[in-house]
Chain A
Amino acid sequence: MMLQRLSRYSGGRPWVAELITLIVLLLCPVVLPLVGISADIASRILIWGLFGLGFDILFGYTGLLSFGQAAFFGTGGFVSAFLLTQTGIHGVFLALMIGMLVAMAAGVVVGFFTLRRSGIYFAMITLAFAEMFHFLELSPLSAWTGGENGLTGVPMPIVGFDSWHFQISSGWTLYGYIAAFFLVGYIVAHRIVLSPFGQVLTALRDNTPRALATGHSVRKYKLTAFVIAAGYAGVAGGLLGVLQSYMPPDAVAFHTSGQLVMQSIIGGAGTLFGPLVGAALWLGMQDFLQDIPFIAEAWMLILGIVFVILITAFRQGILGAVKQLVMKTEPATAPHATELSAEISRRTHIKGVPDEHPNQDNIPDHFFRTDTPTTKPDLLIVPKSSTSEGIALACRNLTKHYGGIYANEGITLSIPEGQLRGIIGPNGAGKSTFFKMLAGEVVPTEGQIFLHGADITGLGVTAVSQLGMSKSYQINELFSKLTVEQNLAIPVLARLRGEFRTDMLKSLNQVPGLRQQIEATLDLVNLDQRADIPVTELAYGEKRRLEIGLALASAPNVLLLDEPLAGMSPRERADTVQLLKRIRAGRTLIVVEHDMDAMFELAEYISVLQEGRLLAEGTPEEIKNDKRVQDAYLGGIEEA
């Protein structure tokens, strides 16, 4: 089963999409003239499509809406055009590559500033930066860019070496040259989105804080995606200059960025081909409508209305809708697929190692699927980073102020390795803030935190996760557009690849240990049968289990669980309690929970917080009988 699943989300039959793209690109010069589409239009569509490949990686896959891509389109275009018209460089390809590199360098600089913010800030700031590029192009740099004139006389490329060479001319041969760039651009983009790197990008898009918490360096990934998009924009800009023999100043203008965004949305973001389809529709409609007398003037209005409707009702765009349609028809072939996957599943499980969890005997039968073989692969546990007399996690004098308000004050704790520690306290006792500080999400005002004896205060959630401590959240923090299995891949990738790696051209199958860890986690949280389901379709209890699974999959040796039982039905609750028992082996667990019964059943040792301070510590028995704890809870009830 696993083989089939992974192969599906790592691209199915490799190279099929590439091959189809090649064939379509080859057919265009034959077919398009028959329907009245010229080489010029086809070339323009491909340039927008190439521009859009990078933008789709940035927006469709990473979720960063930039309104400033024109800056890089223009940078690449003007640098190549400048080299070709004002200097001794005559190699078009060389000039395009230099243009791309300069655009990427510009991407690093602009990205440094713009990626400090996200969401609307990011959109506004990218727009403002692009306007700055526009003004720079128009006046201060006009000696090199031609200002309002742009640069004329960009030469046609010559393909080949020394004695054998071919002069590209306008029309379908130039189309061929541009199509070659598009094809290579597509192959690279396709590899990128299917790579482990690309998987992490989708995680950023769906839930940036969680991606950060699973141990990925979000800033580095964002910046890399931004630079990739800038590179695509740079090449596309350069090709525009070649296509027209002219590099226009308005390539840097706001409407270029706006047009790219609209085309991508119309075509479908997150599909790679979306921007191309959007561009085809855009240029096609412009071309077609402008020939119709009465509505010629209104073509932009019509496109604007189409855009608003698409955003409102079909956010996934044309290709997104097609993709959805294909996915919906897929269950028709389900029986066969299930058979196949069952077969594969049987084969993989034979190789599995016997279960070693000591608590399995205590687990009620209903927790396990009846059809599951009794063997399953091991779940990784990251080795401890250092040794400190068996203390997994400790904190000293941990304090957090918000203005004048003390959320936590002077908490000192020490949790031995392998313990299941419960943390309880009435509402407002500061449990959440305490947990956030432990996980590295909130920087303490005072005090220190030690993981296996090493000071981790202020390292941040990503580093803490990489060191082997992860957290599951009180409110589910899932990657909402991914399947269960893809969700679990994210923390595993952080564990196996570290906080950042640019393995853009590798496939997921090339990450050793990825499958085993996902499979083991799926098994453990009992979502094996649901692996291919998008998380939005899961039941609440399943989502809770996946939430815990996300924390588990990053192979922590210290696991923080924030109210794992919150909002569960009695049965789900029983399941989860058993799950917690099973995952204890080899891990230190720290659980915040309101459910006192569960806590007393599970925890070996309990710490009680009240009004931000540590009130009491002891075994469940001791805590049950502690007068102060009873007062605290009763007091809390009276107040409420």
Chain B
Amino acid sequence: MNNDDDQKNPKNGIDRRDFLKLSAGVAGGMMLSGGVSQLAQAADYPAIGNYPVGIKGSSVFMGIAVPRTGPYSAQGEDEIKGYLLAIDHINKGSSLARAYSPNSHKGVMGKKIEYGIADNQTKPNVAVQAISKFISEHKAMMITGSVSSAVAIAAGKLCDRERTIYLPAISGSNATTGKDCQRYSFRACHFAYTSAKALAPVIKNALGAGKKVAYLTPDYTYGHSVYNSMKQFTEAQGWSTVNNQLPPLGTSDFSTYLLNIANSGADVLVNICFGRDAVISTKQAKQFGLLDKMTLVMPYMAPFFEEEVGADLLQGVYGTTEFWWTLAEKNPMAKEFVADFEKKNGRKPGWSAHIAFLQTMLWARAVESAHTFHPPTVVAEYEKGNKITTDIGDVSWRAADHQLERPVFVIRGKKPSAMRNKADFYDVVEAVPGADVMPPIELFGCKLGSAT
């Protein structure tokens, strides 16, 4: 550990030195028993972020900050289950883990993953506090979890400053890998632009030309992103936009907005709300009779939306998703994931659990491939953009904006009578390849910072 003095990082040197002084006194014994091999390994790279203090022991820490309260809590809880499943597989070195990360044995680089879970309450400030704690106290090597783009962007910025990898789970805003992209952040899910581009031709084919569209858009970055992208692609195919209502996040009574839409003359209602807001707004739209006059489109379908609104309402509703459990029928990796998840949790995974699982696996793979936890090297590994086999097909990271190029699944609500079981809500209408829907790199203004 003597190398740290002459390899000061201008940003983190002092913080970390203080910690080392302390640990020399308090945790000296532990450090000695930590093993010579790790110290030798640590010496290969300059200290940065929590490297190498975060990998001294026999485990590495992964900080999970998800909403467990608030409008997105259902998705947050599902994400936790996905993370726990991934951690379990990685720590056991299961065949599924090795399918993602062929170099893996038990753990990541032989280190068991330990984790902490914090409730970010869907509030960026709470998330940032929890993440600060994971980084400064637990010496986390990876931070993950988000349902709101506002949280993902704030967390990404903080982790970039702290030179710690951050992996958002759900984040639909174009900005996350656009103008707010970060060198240390990597987004694996679909988002506003890819969803809209995948969905627009499908709904045009299904509903016909010249439709008038009204939007219910949650008033923040995610909502605006999806609205702009949907507007762009539907107008490009000859539809017109007649109304856009902007309820704040966490609205409970949508009546004023719905009345405005009801009187707008629209024949398609695009509901961009997510989580609980999506459920409540859709139910209220039904109550106000909107769904009798308009076709509902949910461009960014929230996990569990189907269970909460029920199959009757969902019938014929179009949307996109990151994952749907019937993909298990075509892909052996997805099959194993869905089966194991169901065994542990007694239900099918939502796409929130899937994205959490996928992000953790892709991280383990990147670290194993880089042969180090050294954050800039891991970032460089991600940026190689190699083809990776996953349960949603082949994917690859785009180096310029850290967005995963991946398929987007367009789904449609089934007729209740056509459901094979009580979870069989959707038909996967189309799996649109990632290459077809990715935005041009310069479109959303991503400028990555330095990795060191």
Contact = CB atoms under 8 A, between A and B. Distances in A.
B128 A139 contact: no
Nearest to B137: A38
Nearest to B116: A291
B154 A167 contact: no
Interface string A487-512: 00000000000000000000000000
A340 B147 CA distance: 68
A347 B310 CA distance: 90
Contacts of A152: 153-154, 156-157, 180
Interface string B9-25: 01111111011001000
A147 B18 contact: no
A44 B19 CA distance: 19
B11 to A, nearest CB: 5
A278 interface: no
Contacts of B129: 40, 44, 244
Contact of A246 (B133, B154, B219, B221): B154
A332 to B, nearest CB: 41
Contact of B18 (A33, A146, A250): A33
A138 B126 CA distance: 17
Nearest to A172: B18
Given A33-B19, A34-B22, A245-B158, A150 B14 contact: no
B220 to A, nearest CB: 3
Interface residues of A, number: 36
Nearest to B26: A34
Interface string A456-498: 0000000000000000000000000000000000000000000
Contacts of B161: 170, 245
Secondary structure dominating the interface of B: helix
B177 interface: no
Contacts of A150: 124-125, 150, 154
A446 interface: no
B248 A169 contact: no
B150 A246 contact: no
B105 interface: no
B180 to A, nearest CB: 6
A146 B149 CA distance: 12
Contact of B118 (A44, A171, A245, A290): A290
Given A38-B136, A170-B162, A248 B123 contact: yes
Given A147-B220, A167-B10, A170-B162, A251 B125 contact: yes
A170 B12 contact: yes
A543 to B, nearest CB: 50
A246 B248 contact: no
A518 interface: no
B448 interface: no
Contact of B132 (A153, A167, A172, A244): A244
B14 A172 contact: yes
A563 to B, nearest CB: 57
Contact of B133 (A135, A171, A287): A287
A44 B18 CA distance: 19
Nearest to A33: B22
Contacts of B14: 169, 171-173
A39 interface: yes
B328 interface: no
Nearest to A135: B248
Nearest to B246: A139
A52 interface: no
A248 B14 CA distance: 26
Interface string A216-254: 000000000000000000000000000011101111010
B255 to A, nearest CB: 18
Interface in A129-166: 135, 138-139, 142, 146-150, 152-153
27 contacts: A33-B18, A39-B15, A40-B129, A40-B133, A142-B220, A146-B221, A147-B219, A147-B221, A148-B221, A149-B221, A150-B125, A150-B154, A152-B157, A152-B180, A153-B157, A170-B161, A171-B15, A172-B15, A173-B14, A244-B154, A245-B157, A245-B161, A246-B154, A248-B125, A248-B154, A250-B126, A251-B125
The 3 tightest CB contacts between A and B, nearest first, are A171-B15, A148-B220, A248-B125
Interface of A: 29, 33-34, 36, 38-41, 44, 135, 138-139, 142, 146-150, 152-153, 167, 169-173, 244-246, 248-251, 253, 287, 290
